[in-house]
């Protein structure tokens, strides 16, 4: 039997996206690639250089008999000078590009040319190549090529010490009959190289000094070129001079004796498991690995056995087993099979047929099981797609798409996210990414494909009767672009309960900063006053600039977020309601947070913007006292912070309830002003409370007083009063013009619920 030497995302639920089938395919492909790579590694572990000798010059392999230093090459003819690894060369400065153990060297040789201008020669080159002993120009790999329209050229050299000359001529008066890619005589001609040619010289000549063709062919060229590397074109008549060198191939051999002469001599270098072959191009010989062996035949250990059994094409018939032997392999019948002499193949014995039958039945069962599983998963996948579509329609997806496509909503930025996008953003809702958890929703931190960090709110329940209202609020909210309001980026409607996507605010809630001991001292009175003013400005905007107006309904310190510069961001609009233009009050079910709820709303169920004013008053008291709105660890009469604060204020004991470092930092008059403002916000009757616009105006004035620390409130009260009045007037003027000048681009806005302020 003959031998052959042939070199050779985020997790999804299985029922969610069929990912396990894709994974099986990927694993199979990777396994095939790795197995092929392993075979390649085993097949070619053979050394190519002598022990302790380098076999690389730059990126080029240097096999023995060639070498880079003394003791690593056969003789001086095979020395490779690697001083410049990008252009190594052998003796007589022959550049080396590649060395093959089959007896060839890829090299470069200059192009011969003669150039004329107005009939006079202006430049010429007559290159020559003097290669080492037994290095000849390959007759099978090269051609001698002449290019030009007034050109003939000679190739001179020696064949076994006899002089030899060949060449060809190309004459044409125009490029009319030239064919790109064809070197058949018009503009280009070529001749074969004889065997054993060495020490060559080339020269290009002109009959008429290119006077007739100078306008398109001022030069004639001649060169030896490796076959299939030069592609003639009309442009070659002008551009060849810039190329300067052409690739060519040299044949090499060992010594100047034949195999018969040298095989029994001490200088014979063919190693084990190799054979000797006489050089076809002249004297000398080459070594070649025998069939079934591979490696460098010039090394003393010679060629190594190839394990043909690693080739899957060998002994691949049913019942055959491959056994490797030195230089060959044998196919034998495996257990349960015997050789059929007449057919020359292995056939199964009777007992083996029974085993095969059982195996066949088992395989058939497995195939049916896999197919049934695949079919089941396909059905489940289709059901899942239909379910997502039903949720999308049930949650108002078609209504939202229709509203977003209307011209009046052309500026809307709400995006409808898919379930896959949000699962990937949250790593399938990894619990380590939870940044807030409330009674009605959980908030996750997510990362979108554009590297934007977002907060994704996953609600627990939904009121199906309010779907159209929900869609209207999403459209309106997505257009709100206020620096102190958390931005709604979009929603996902493919789940049973819609998911909302908000901008991510990194620094947590105001509640954390004023009620946690480690953070409370960080938030100075100046920062607290700024937070209060910014929150009031946001609520004023929702009440008076949004169209239709928006009542938040759940204003509290845990729904005020802080960014890295402690800028306030009002969030969690899950309890908010749009107010129709023709109504100032809404009858609605009780909703909000104990400690912040408007007492009047609790009695009448009539929702007005003054309900937000009351809740904001509680936040002001939190900022002043550092205490929680409701403390169950205190006596029942002291649990409500608002009631206790008003009691202290009534008894002129304000500074007893203020947080210690706030009482020290803040100016007494300023603290009193803020306390009185909070008192007005906490009045029992809504009509007696100021509007959020008035609250924002006063806080902005007090904030400016804080910024202009040169004002002495006690001694210069008239100037302070003037500054407050000036600020108030300026604010009123701006607020009255917001609806026409500033907020035109944010009409019809609303904001939704976010329990934990994200």
Segment among 336-345, 368-377, 481-490, 585-594 with least mean pLDDT? 585-594
Q: For residue 124, count CB atoms less than 10 angstroms from its CB and return exposed for 0-12, middle for 13-18, buried for 19 or more.
A: middle
- Please report the pLDDT score of residue 494 as a whole number: 86
> Given 114, 281, 554, 756, which residue is catalytic?
554
Binding residues, as ranges, are 458
Torsion over CA of 545, 546, 549 and 555, rounded to 10 degrees?
-90
In Å, how far are 1, 352, 391 from 288, measured between CA atoms? 21, 45, 74
Across the range 514-540, mean pLDDT stands at 87
Give the pLDDT band of residue 572 (cuts 50, 70, 90). Answer: confident
Mean pLDDT, all residues of the chain:
81
Single pTM value for the model = 0.46
For the chain, domains (ranges, CATH) are: 104-252 (no CATH), 413-503 (3.30.200.20), 510-742 (1.10.510.10)
* pLDDT tens profile 208-243: 999 999 999 999 999 999 999 999 999 999 889 888
Q: Are 46 and 304 in contact (CB under 8 A)?
A: yes
In the beta sheet, which residues pair with residue 166? 155
Residue of 222, 219, 207, 210 whose CA lies nearest to 154:
222
554 is annotated as an active-site residue: yes
> Does the pLDDT value for residue 592 go beyond 80?
no
Could you tell me where the beta strands, DSSP code E, fall in 350-478? 415-417, 434-437, 441-447, 453-459
pLDDT at residue 350 in the model = 67
**Residue 190: pLDDT over 90:** yes
- Can you tell me the distance from the alpha carbon of 695 to that of 691, in angstroms, rounded to the nearest whole number? 6
What is the model's pLDDT at position 577? Answer: 60
Cα dihedral across residues 23, 25, 26, 28: positive or negative: positive
pLDDT digits (tens, 9 = 90+) for 144-180: 999 999 999 999 999 888 999 999 999 999 999 999 9
Q: What is the 3-state secondary structure (H, E, C) of 103-157?
A: CEEEEEEECEEEEEECCEEEEEECCEECCCCCEEECCCCEEEEEECCEEEEEEEE
Q: For residue range 408-449, list pLDDT tens digits in order.
A: 555 556 788 988 999 999 999 999 999 887 767 788 999 999
- 147 and 130 Cβ atoms separated by less than 8 Å: no
Per-residue pLDDT at 41: 38
3-state secondary structure 225-285: EECCCCCCCCCHHHHHHHHCEEEEEEEECECCCCHHHHCCCCCCCCCCCEEEEECCCCCCE
Top pLDDT among 618 and 10 is at 618
Mean of the pLDDT values across residues 238-255?
Answer: 92
Long-range contacts of 733-742 (CB under 8 A, 24+ apart): 735/540, 735/544, 735/545, 735/693, 735/697, 738/541, 738/544, 738/545, 739/544, 739/545, 739/547, 742/545
Residue bearing the bigger pLDDT, 712 or 641? 641
């Amino acid at each position: 039997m003959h031998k052959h030497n042939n070199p050779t995302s985020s997790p999804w639920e299985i029922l969610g996206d069929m990912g396990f089938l894709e994974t099986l395919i990927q694993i199979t492909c990777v396994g095939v690639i790795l197995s092929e790579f392993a075979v390649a590694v085993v097949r070619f572990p053979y050394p190519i250089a002598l022990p302790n000798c380098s076999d690389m010059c730059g990126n080029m392999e240097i096999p023995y008999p060639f070498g880079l230093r003394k003791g690593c090459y056969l003789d001086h003819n095979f020395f490779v000078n690697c001083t410049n690894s990008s252009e190594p060369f052998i003796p007589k400065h022959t550049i080396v590009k590649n060395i093959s153990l089959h007896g060839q060297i890829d090299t470069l040789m200059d192009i011969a040319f003669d150039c004329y201008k107005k009939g006079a020669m202006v430049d010429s080159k007559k290159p020559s190549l003097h290669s080492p002993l037994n290095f000849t120009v390959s007759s099978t790999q090269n051609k001698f090529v002449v290019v030009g329209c007034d050109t003939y050229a000679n190739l001179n050299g020696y064949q076994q010490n006899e002089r030899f000359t060949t060449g060809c001529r190309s004459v044409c008066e125009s490029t009319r009959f030239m064919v790109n890619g064809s070197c058949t005589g018009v503009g280009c001609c070529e001749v074969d190289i004889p065997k054993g040619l060495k020490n060559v010289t080339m020269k290009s000549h002109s009959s008429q000094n290119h006077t007739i063709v100078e306008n398109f062919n001022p030069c004639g060229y001649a060169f030896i070129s490796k076959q299939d590397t030069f592609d003639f074109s009309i442009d070659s008549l002008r551009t060849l001079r810039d190329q300067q060198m052409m690739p060519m191939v040299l044949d090499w051999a060992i010594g100047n004796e034949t195999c018969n002469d040298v095989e029994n001599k001490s200088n014979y270098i063919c190693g084990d498991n190799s054979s000797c072959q006489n050089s076809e191009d002249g004297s000398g010989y080459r070594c070649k690995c025998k069939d079934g062996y591979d490696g460098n035949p010039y090394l003393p250990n010679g060629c190594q056995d190839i394990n043909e059994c690693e080739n899957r094409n060998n002994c691949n018939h049913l019942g055959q087993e491959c056994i490797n032997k030195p230089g060959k392999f044998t196919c034998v019948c495996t257990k349960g099979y015997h050789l059929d002499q007449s057919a020359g193949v292995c056939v199964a014995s009777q007992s083996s047929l029974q085993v095969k039958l059982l195996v066949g039945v088992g395989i058939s069962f497995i195939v049916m099981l896999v197919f049934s599983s695949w079919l089941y998963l396909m059905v489940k996948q289709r059901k899942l797609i239909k379910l997502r579509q039903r949720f999308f329609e049930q949650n108002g997806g078609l209504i939202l798409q229709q509203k977003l496509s209307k011209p009046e909503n052309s500026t809307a930025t709400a995006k409808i996210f898919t379930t896959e996008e949000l699962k990937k953003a949250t790593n399938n809702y990894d619990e380590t990414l939870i940044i807030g958890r409330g009674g009605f929703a959980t908030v996750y931190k997510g990362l979108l494909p554009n590297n934007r960090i977002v907060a994704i709110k996953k609600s627990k329940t939904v009121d199906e009767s309010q779907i159209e209202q929900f869609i209207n609020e999403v459209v309106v909210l997505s257009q709100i672009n206020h620096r102190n309001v958390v931005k709604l980026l979009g929603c996902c409607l493919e789940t049973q309960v819609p998911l909302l996507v908000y901008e991510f605010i990194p620094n947590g809630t105001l509640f954390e900063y004023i009620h946690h001991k480690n953070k409370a001292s960080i938030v100075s009175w100046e920062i607290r006053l700024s937070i209060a003013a910014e929150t009031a400005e946001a609520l004023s905007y929702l009440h008076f600039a949004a169209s239709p107006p928006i009542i938040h309904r759940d204003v509290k310190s845990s729904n005020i977020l802080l960014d890295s510069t402690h800028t306030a961001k009002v969030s969690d609009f899950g309890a908010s309601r749009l107010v129709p233009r023709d109504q100032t009050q809404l009858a609605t079910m009780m909703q909000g947070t104990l400690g912040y709820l408007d007492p009047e709303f609790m009695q009448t169920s009539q929702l007005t913007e003054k309900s937000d004013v009351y809740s904001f008053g509680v936040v002001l008291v939190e900022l002043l006292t550092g205490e929680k709105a409701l403390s169950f660890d205190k006596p029942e009469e002291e649990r409500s912070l608002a009631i206790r604060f008003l009691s202290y204020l009534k008894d002129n004991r304000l500074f007893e309830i203020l947080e210690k470092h706030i009482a020290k930092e803040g100016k007494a008059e300023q603290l009193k002003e803020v306390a009185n403002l909070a008192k007005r916000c906490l009045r029992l009757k809504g009509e007696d409370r100021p509007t959020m616009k008035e609250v924002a105006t006063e806080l902005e004035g007090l904030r400016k007083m804080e910024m202009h620390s040169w004002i002495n409130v006690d001694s210069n009260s008239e100037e302070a009063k003037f500054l407050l009045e000036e600020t108030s007037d300026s604010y009123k003027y701006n607020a009255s013009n917001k609806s026409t000048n500033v907020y035109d681009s944010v009409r019809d806005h609303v904001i939704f619920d976010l329990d934990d302020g994200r």
